[in-house]
Structure formats: C-alpha cells, structure tokens
Amino acid sequence: MTTIAFWVLAVASVLSGYAVFRVDSMARATFALALSFVAVGAILLLLDLDYLGLVVVVMMVMEMAVMAVFMIMYMMNPAGLMPMSMWHDKSRAMSIAVGTFVVLAAGALLVDWPERQGPPPPDITRQLGQGIMGSKMLVMMAVSAVILSTIVAALVLGSARSRYDRLGDDLDKRRSTDPVRGGVGR
C-alpha cells in the first residue's frame, strides 16, 4: 500500500514538475509547481515525517499563493491567450539536465549505501525539536540571522524610494524631496 502510494506520488511530483516548464501560461505553471510540492510533502508523510511533511505542504501552498501574485505582475503570456515561446537554448538545457539526471541516478543506484542504524524514535517531531534546541542549535541560530538579513535586503531592494532618496546620502537635508507636494516636506 505504501509502495503504491509512493510511486503514485513520485510520478505525480515528477510529471507536475515537468509540466511547470511545458504549460503555456505562467499561472498554470504556478499551480503545477504547487502540485509537485504537495506530492513531495505527502512522500515525507509516508516516511513518518508528519511535522515536516505538513510544514512543506502548508508552506509551499502559501508560497505559491504569493508567487501567483508575482507571476501575474511579470507574466509573459497572460492566461495562455497569446501562444509564444517562453524558453531559449532548449536542446542544450535538455541535454545538460538529462546528463545530470543520469550521473545522479547512477550514483544513487551504484553507491553502496550504509545500513540503517536503528529504528526511528517513537516521537519523531520531538527528536527534531530536541535537535534544533540542542545539538543543532547553531544551525537554527545561523538560519535566524540569515532570515533577518533577507528581510532587510528584500525591503531595500524592493523599495522604490527610501529615506536616502528623500533626505540625501547623509540624511541631512532639512526638507525631504518628494515627487509631489503636500508630503512631509510640504
């Protein structure tokens, strides 16, 4: 039963992943990618990773919802109404991808992987929690610093006019230069 579920989910995730780059609309591509992520989340559930599987599904569905907004902002081919080619260098990309797959799959099949060491613990989520609050705390501290700098960097990159545009590089202008009158600079 688990095996059948695994193969169905595996095929679904690969096919919908491939569909991302074959459908003729970026909105459809977003949903195909979301489907691929949900299938991977379900595979994690099959591996007894209840918490992480759920996290992947919930996060990726939300992420694709956000992505859909940006997709519409930067859409090349709205709703697939205007048939057009969205790719370049297709044959070379395909041969590189197939080559990568062959090398990786050969490695996966030929390497003599180590034996399993012991059964999973009774409470798997507890193991993760103990891990990130204990022996793997450095990882989570590094991740938190990186996420904070991501927030700052994304805001700086995404904002059109910041206080430096209004008040000069040293923030020492007495009046802010606004594009329209009536703001803080009057």
Binding positions for other proteins, 49-88, rule CB under 8 A: 49, 52, 55-56, 59-60, 63, 66-67, 70-71, 74, 76, 85-88
Between CA 18 and CA 175 the distance in angstroms is: 54
CB-neighbour burial class of residue 139 (10 A; exposed 0-12, middle 13-18, buried 19+): exposed
Q: Is 90 in the site for other proteins (CB under 8 A)?
A: yes
In the list 8, 61, 65, 139, the residue contacting other proteins (rule: CB under 8 A) is 139
Q: Which is nearer to other proteins, 147 or 171 (CB)?
A: 147
Question: 132: Cβ–Cβ under 8 A, 6 or more apart, which residues?
Answer: 139, 140
Q: Is 23 in the site for other proteins (CB under 8 A)?
A: no
82-86, long-range: CB < 8 A, 24+ apart: 83/24, 84/24, 86/24, 86/26
Q: Is 3 in the site for other proteins (CB under 8 A)?
A: yes
Smallest separation, CB 42 to other proteins (Å): 11
Q: Is 117 in the site for other proteins (CB under 8 A)?
A: yes
**Residue 54 backbone dihedrals phi, psi, to 5 degrees:** -65, -40
In the list 81, 112, 113, 169, the residue contacting other proteins (rule: CB under 8 A) is 113
